[in-house]
Structure 1
Amino acid sequence: MPIPPSLIGGSLPGWAFLQETRERQQATFESSTDIQRNVDGMREKLTQPFTLDELMGDRQLLRPVLQSFGLQDEIDKGAFIRRIISDGPDDPQGFARRLNNTDFIELSRTFEADPDGLIRLSDTEVDNLIQAYQDEAFEVAVGEQEPTLRLALNFEQEIGDLARDAASDRSFWFKVIGSAPLMEVFQAAFILPDGFANLDVDKQADYLQNRAEQQIGSDPRAILATDEGVQTTVRKFILQTQLQNGPDALTPGASALTLLSAGAGFGSQSLSSLILSNAV
């Protein structure tokens, strides 16, 4: 088993602690025997030409490869993954495009075979896959203890590039809507209404744009391309999640909340809102 990360809860202090210690903790995590074995296997097998059959037939390799794309839960869907890759990333009728999932599209693009049926990855591509695997594996390990922090880590890693690379505000929000983890962060951070996911996708994009302008500023895509904008949104997400789940022992003012909420005339919800607002 990999060396688990050390966490102090899913509150804002817990997030700050993880940020301050992540580099050291992830290095320790990556030194675990299981992680290093997978990294060595990826580097050995992916740096030489291989076929799709060879990839699909090597479960020990396929697992970290899928995890590089956040698709580790698909490991037992061999026919499904084979179809994603073999159809290619650009055919509008291909499986990857029809599913409209950026992770599947990138998997298909990365492992697209040449005319000889061989998959050839550059050293840079292999390095990127290994780093993505290590990052995702660490996030999963964090999430096993604190799911809120895993979502925050994923958001921190993905949203900036998405905001910078999008051709327009609308295409940015469409990509966000297609990502369940990103939408879970925005759902809490922007306090989206129940039934939001049932709206037409164009209406979802419009609502997200308007809500983001209210919550973080007049040009949300530009703001989310900055570290400050990302951290502001993550803090809103963590605070709103705390409010929904109830404050923990590390929530600022939690001791006072415990005492005051026991007194007559004080509602715990209003008190928690007051105390948490001072932590923003």
Structure 2
Amino acid sequence: MTFEPVLPFQGYIGWRFLERTAEAQQTAFSQSAPVQRATDYFRENIGDIRTASDLVNDRQLLSVALGAFGLDDDINNRAFIQKVLEDGTLAQDALANRLADNRYADFSRAFGFGDSPVPRTVLSTLPTEIINRYETQQFARAVGEQNNDLRLALNVNAGISDIIARNSTNDGRWFSIMGNAPLREVFQTALGLPSSLAGIDIDKQREVFQERAQAVFGTDDIAEIATPEQEEKLIRLFTIRSEAGNLAATSSSAAALTLLQSTPRLFP
């Protein structure tokens, strides 16, 4: 993409600036020539697609389809993506349901190749649905090329909304957050949890996440954390703690380099 977001600040200050300017920047991004070409092609051609094979064999369509779910890096994994789409999401052993990252299930469900005799590509509303997601995700991706923390923060609202929409229980919503790599990173960092948490039993992980959420937000109910005030607190904690961690790592590296440079040479 040729569009470069304006991001003059880092951390939470950077987030507040982006939050204020996101609408105008998103519009400029969506109107840029590369995005317009990609979305125009998708809108004009997706209605002719009837099978998963049709989709994966059209690289331009597949690029938008994957990009709408933040799965851009899978553009060359055509056999894998075709299997995800053909299996659908209704069977418990469907490939998308067996993957830790639940974005694949969202992706498969959106096109419906494996869930219905007639795919969702025939729906007149599908192009707009996917294009809106694509423009949002790709703007976040452009932001992420300069600052990945801000990219993750941009995806919080839509990510949580998707999870609430497809899960009726609070426990199920927590499992979905834990299985969504970008959201998990935001929650894990904001709640001050170590990355090593991923190595313990999955039910215990959920309990730890919920206990920390209760302590930090006064609730472990994802629907309540999804309110604007709580989401803002989540992002504030995430950006502040992430920036602090990055500064600490940079300081440690600088200190180690200084120590090495000041150590007398043992050999002439």
**Fold shared, TM-score > 0.5 on shorter chain:** yes
Identical pairs, percent: 37
State the TM-score, normalizing by the size of structure 2.
0.85
- Aligned to 1:195, the other structure's residue is in SS state helix
Alignment of 1:248-263 (within 5 A): none
**How many Å separate the matches in 2 of 1:55 and 1:222?**
35
Is structure 2 residue 99 aligned with structure 1 residue 103?
no
In the alignment, structure 1 residue 177 sits paired with structure 2 residue 202: no
User: 1:114-263 maps to which residues of 2 (within 5 A)?
Assistant: 115=117, 120-163=121-164, 166-246=167-247
Q: For residue 12 of structure 1, what is the aligned residue in structure 2?
A: 12
- Which amino acid in structure 2 is aligned with residue 108 of structure 1? S
Partners of 1:64 and 1:42 in 2: CA distance: 7
Where structure 2 has 5 or more consecutive residues not aligned to the other structure, the ranges are 249-268
Matches within 5 A, 1:31-46: 31-46=31-46
Does the residue aligned with 2:70 lie in a helix, a strand or coil? coil
Equivalent pair of 1:217/1:223 in contact (CA under 8 Å) = no
Judged with a 3 Å threshold, the aligned counterparts in structure 2 of structure 1 residues 150 and 92 are, in CA distance, closer, same or farther, namely same
CA distance in 2, matches of 1:161, 1:83: 23
Distance of 1:238 and 1:218 partners within structure 2: 21
**Are residues 1:47 and 2:47 paired?**
yes
CA distance in 2: counterparts of 1:105 and 1:180, whole angstroms: 13
* Structure 2 counterpart of 1:91, one-letter code: A
Q: Which amino acid aligns with 2:121?
A: R
Tell me the secondary structure at the aligned position of residue 50 of structure 1. coil
Distance 1:211 1:115 in 2: 44
CA deviation digits over 1:48-106, x for unaligned, max 9? 45333321211111111111111111111011011111112112222122225422122
Q: Secondary structure at the match of 1:90?
A: coil
Question: How many aligned positions are there?
Answer: 246
Moved more, 40-49 or 183-192: 40-49
Q: Is the 8 A contact 1:100 1:178 kept in 2?
A: yes
Residue 3 of structure 1 aligns to a residue whose secondary structure is coil
Secondary structure, counterpart of 1:246 in structure 2: helix
**In structure 1, how many angstroms separate the alpha carbons of the residues matched to 2:62 and 2:162?**
26
Consecutive aligned runs of 4 or more in structure 1 exceeding 6 Å deviation: none
Output the amino acid matched with 2:80.
F
What is the TM-score when the length of structure 1 is the normalising length? 0.82
What RMSD in Å do the two structures reach over aligned CA positions? 1.9
1:83 aligns with 2:77: no
